[in-house]
Amino acid sequence: MGTSIMVMVTVRLFATVREAAGASRLRLDVRDVDDLLMALRRGHGPAMSNLIDGYLADRERLVILVNGRNHGPSSLKGLRLVAGDEVAIFPPVSGG
């Protein structure tokens, strides 16, 4: 994808996503949401890799917010990030 610029973002992880990564907060140098997901998949063990693979197969398996905003699964694909963005990732909330 050419000469896209990498930017430093903060990633906040919750519940099973936090457990899979072994951290609640990460700082990553990425280009966009897809790049962020691949960085998590590559660098944070098999449990995280399985979560990301599951999300890529069914984009309802995780909720991803960028700066507190839910863009919806289809809008996240290729969504560019800018320096200082905060991305929150957590499983869907269920209850009853």
3-state secondary structure of 25: strand
* Residue whose C-alpha is closest to residue 83's, from 27, 37, 34: 27
Q: What domain count does the chain have? A: 1
Residue 73 lies in a domain: yes
Residue 96 lies in a domain: no
Give the span between the Cα atoms of 83 and 31, in whole angstroms: 9
Element (H, E) at 75: helix 73-76
Residue 67 lies in a domain: yes
Residue 39 lies in a domain: yes
pLDDT of residue 87 exceeding 70, the answer is yes
Give the span between the Cα atoms of 73 and 63, in whole angstroms: 8
Q: Give pLDDT tens digits for 44-83.
A: 999 999 999 999 999 889 999 999 999 887 888 889 999 9
2 or 72: which leads in pLDDT: 72
Question: What's the domain range around 22?
Answer: 7-90
CATH number of domain containing 14: 3.10.20.30
- pTM, 2 dp: 0.89
Residue 95 lies in a domain: no
pLDDT of residue 27 exceeding 50, the answer is yes
Residue 2 lies in a domain: no
